[in-house]
Amino acid sequence: MTSTQQTAPSTETLAGAVVHVGSEAAREWWRDAVIYQVYPRSFADGDGDGIGDIPGVTARLDHLARLGVDAVWLSPFYRSPQKDAGYDVADYRDVDPLFGTLADVDEMLAAAHERGIRVVVDLVPNHTSDQHAWFQVALAAAAGSPERARYVFRDGRGPAGDEAPNNWQSIFGGPAWTRLAPREDDGPLGPQWYLHLFDSSQPDLDWTHPEVRAEFEDVLRFWLDKGVDGFRVDVAHGLVKADGLPDWEGSVAMVDGTTDDEAVDPGAPEDGSTGAGRHGPMFDQDGVHEIYRAWHRVLAEYDGDRCLVAEAWVEPLSRLARYVRPGEMHQAFNFSFLTTGWDAAALRSVIAASYRANDEVGAPTTWVLSNHDVVRHTSRLGLTDAGGRPNGIFATDPQPDEELGLRRARAASLLMLGLPGSAYVYQGEELGLPEHTALPADLRQDPAFFRTLGAEAGRDGCRVPIPWSADAAGFGFGPTGKTWLPQPESFARYAADLQYGVAGSTFEMYRAALAARRAEGLGHGGLAWLDAHAGSPDVIAFRNRDVVVLANLGTEPVTLPSGVEVLVASGPVADEVPSDTTVWLRA
Ligand code: GLC
C-alpha cells in the first residue's frame, strides 16, 4: 500500500449517522421497485420498419425477466403524429399504428404479468397533439367559443393583437405562443394565439376546465381497466398556470432540466438543489395538487397497488415531496440526483436531502441516472466536466472519454442500486450504451434541435435503437436491419448477446446487483453513513442492512479490510477498490 492509499475501516466499527430507517412493514410494490424504462420506438422492432413497436417489446420481455426488474415503464405508444416522438398524443385511448394495436398491448401486458413484471404507462396531460379532435374543433370554432375553452387561447397584445399574449418561451426554444391563421370573423385584435410550453404541435390544455379533468380521469380508467399498474405523468408540474399568465423574466429550463443560465446552478446546497428545478408562473403552481388527489382516488377504486409517478422538474426536494404527500402521487423522479455531478460530497448531500424530504411525507425516494431526455450517464460522466449537463452532444463538441465514462457509469449505477427506495433504469444502460455523439443534422428528429435552430443537439443521441446481436444487421434491432436512427459502430461492443453470461459485463453486473438487492432487501433497507467514508472525502460509504456500499470517486485506491466478502463490484477489485469503482460488501 502506498502512503496515499486509503483504508476502508473495518466494518464492525462503522456505525455512522443514520439518514434513513428501513421498515419491515407490508409495503406496496412500487416503494422499492426497480423500474425499467422502455422507449418503444428504440427498444425492439417486431415488423421490420425500423421503428420499435409493442410486439417487439413482448418478444424481448425475457431480457427484462433475466435482468430481474420489477416493472417496466413504457414511453407513449398512443396515436400521434410523432412530432415529439409520441409526447404529442392525438388519441389517448388508441395505439399508433407505428407501434401496433390495442390487442398487441393486451398481449404485452399479459406476457409481462406472467413474468411477474408490472407495467406502467405514460400519461401526457399538459398538452395534446394539434391533431387531437379537441384541438381540431377548437381551430374550426370562433374565439371565445366553448371549443376553444379547453386550451389556452388568448388575444394578442398591442393594438393589432400581433404581439404574443405574454413573454413565455417554449422549453424547446422559441416563443411559447403561436398565432392562428386569419379568419373572416376575427375581431379588431385579429387571430388569437395559443399557448404551447413545448412544440407548436403540442397545445397546452386548460386544466381549469371541468371537461379536461373529467376526460383524463376517464383515460386513467381506460388503461386501469386494461390492467396497467401505474402511470408516469408527463410534465406533472406544468398543468396549472398562474392566474393571468403573467410575464416572467426568468430562464426556462430545457427539457432535461438544464438552463442556459448557469448562474442558477447553486452547486450542492443542503437542500439537494442542483438547478434542475423549473420555476416561474408556468410550473409548480399549488393548483396541480388537487388534480393528483382526484387521480389518487381513481386509482384507489382499483385493486392492487397502482401508482402515479411524477415527472416534475421541481426543486428543492422539499417542494418536490409535496407531489408525493399521502393521497397524491406515489413517486416522483429524483432529478436532483440525476443532475448531480461525479462528486462525492455533492452526491452525499443530495442523497441525504432526498431522504429528509421524502421521509417527511412517508414516500419512497426514487433514483434515476438516465432517461430519454438526457445525455446517457455513460457519456455524461466521461466528459472532462463530469458535472456538465449538455442538451445532447454534437460531433464538433468535446467528446466524452468512453472508457472513463463507462467505468464511472457502472460505479454510479451500483451506488444507485444500493440505495433504499425505488430505482429507474433506462433501456440500454444495463448494456453500458454510450450516447450517439455524431448524429448528422439531417437525421435529427428532436423538436428541441429545430426550435433552437440547431443550437442544441437535442435528445436523439440517447434514443438510438438498442443493439441486441453484435453480428446481425442493425445489431438485431429488428428483422430487416433497418433502424430509424443510425447506430454508432461502437454499439457492436455493447450488444446484449455479447454480454449474457459473461462475467464482468455490464449486463451481468446489473443482473447481479438486482439479485443481491432483492435477496438482501436493500430497496426497503435503511441508510447509515459510515464514519469518515474510509478516510477520504472522495469516498461514499454507507451501510444498508447487512451490506456496505462503498463508492470510490477519488483518484487513489481504497484498501479493503482482509477477509471481507465482495458481493458485487462495478470493476475489477482485489484487495483494494480502484478509482471510479463501487463495491457492495457483506458487513
Ligand atoms: C417530458 C418528456 C419529454 C417530452 C416533454 C413534452 O419532459 O419526458 O420527452 O418532450 O415532456 O411532452
Beta-carbon count within 10 A of 140 CB: 11
- Decide which of 387 and 153 is more confident: 153
Amino acid identity of residue 288, one-letter, is: V
Helix, coil or strand: residue 119:
strand
CA terminus-to-terminus distance, the chain: 23
- The predicted model scores a pTM of 0.95
The span from the CA of 332 to the CA of 363, in Å, is 9
What's 340's DSSP letter?
A: -
Nearest to 241 by CA among 173, 176, 174: 176
For residue 140, is pLDDT > 60? yes
DSSP element (H, E) containing 221: helix 210-226
**CB-count exposure of residue 416 (10 Å: 0-12, 13-18, 19+):** buried
Separation of 171 CA from ligand 1 center, angstroms?
10
84 lines ligand 1 (CB under 6 A): yes
Q: Tell me the helix, strand and coil percentages in the chain, rounded to 5.
A: 30, 15, 55
Confidence of residue 15 (pLDDT cuts 50, 70, 90): low
- What is the rounded average pLDDT of the residues 33-41? 98
Q: What does the pLDDT look like over 261-292, one tens digit per residue?
A: 433 333 345 677 777 766 799 999 999 999 99
Confidence of residue 388 (pLDDT cuts 50, 70, 90): confident
Alpha-helical segments (H) within 399-505: 402-417, 447-451, 491-494, 496-499
Q: What does the pLDDT look like over 195-219, one tens digit per residue?
A: 999 999 999 999 999 999 999 999 9
Q: What does the pLDDT look like over 365-383, one tens digit per residue?
A: 999 999 999 999 999 999 9
121 to 39, 132, 286, 303, 379: CA distances (angstroms): 11, 19, 25, 17, 27
The span from the CA of 251 to the CA of 279, in Å, is 8
Question: What is the per-residue pLDDT for 275?
Answer: 73
Question: What is the per-residue pLDDT for 1?
Answer: 34
- What is the rounded average pLDDT of the residues 39-51? 98
**Active site amino acids:** 234, 301
Separation of 31 CA from ligand 1 center, angstroms?
24
Bridge pairing between strands 71-74 and 78-79: unpaired
Helix (DSSP H) and strand (DSSP E) numbers for the chain: 16, 22
Nearest to 150 by CA among 192, 207, 197: 207
Q: What does the pLDDT look like over 515-555, one tens digit per residue?
A: 999 999 999 999 999 976 777 899 999 999 999 999 999 99
422 neighbors 35 (Cβ within 8 angstroms): yes
What's 154's DSSP letter?
A: E
94 to 42, 99, 100, 102: CA distances (angstroms): 20, 10, 10, 6
For residue 11, is pLDDT > 90? no
- Decide which of 4 and 420 is more confident: 420
Q: What does the pLDDT look like over 472-514, one tens digit per residue?
A: 999 999 999 999 999 999 999 999 999 999 999 999 999 999 9
Domain boundaries in the chain?
Answer: 25-128+209-512, 129-204
234 lines ligand 1 (CB under 6 A): yes
Which residue's CA is minimally distant from atom 2 of ligand 1?
234
Q: Output the 3-class SS for 18-47.
A: EEECCCCCCCCHHHCCEEEEECHHHHCCCC
Q: What does the pLDDT look like over 85-137, one tens digit per residue?
A: 999 999 999 999 999 999 999 999 999 999 999 999 999 999 999 999 999 99
Ligand 1 atom closest to residue 172's alpha carbon, by position in its atom list: 10
198 lines ligand 1 (CB under 6 A): yes
- What is the rounded average pLDDT of the residues 447-455? 94
Crossing angle for the helix pair 210-226 and 102-114, nearest 10 degrees?
50
For residue 257, is pLDDT > 80? no
Separation of 84 CA from ligand 1 center, angstroms?
8
Nearest to 254 by CA among 342, 367, 174, 164: 174
312 lines ligand 1 (CB under 6 A): no
Amino acid identity of residue 54, one-letter, is: I
- What is the rounded average pLDDT of the residues 308-314? 97
Ligand 1 atom closest to residue 124's alpha carbon, by position in its atom list: 12
Confidence of residue 259 (pLDDT cuts 50, 70, 90): low
Burial code (b: 16+ CB inside 10 Å, e: under 16) for 363-402 equals bbbbbbbbbbbbbbbbbbbbbeebbebbbbbbeeeebbbb
- 158 phi, psi to nearest 5 deg: 85, 160
The span from the CA of 26 to the CA of 15, in Å, is 27
* CATH number for the segment(s) 129-204: 3.90.400.10
Residue among 84, 239, 462 to mutate when testing ligand 1 (max atoms within 8 A of CB): 84
Question: What is the per-residue pLDDT for 538?
Answer: 96
Note if the bond before 467 is cis, omega within 30 degrees.
no
Classified by CATH at the fold level, domain 25-128+209-512 comes out as TIM Barrel (3.20.20)
373 lines ligand 1 (CB under 6 A): yes
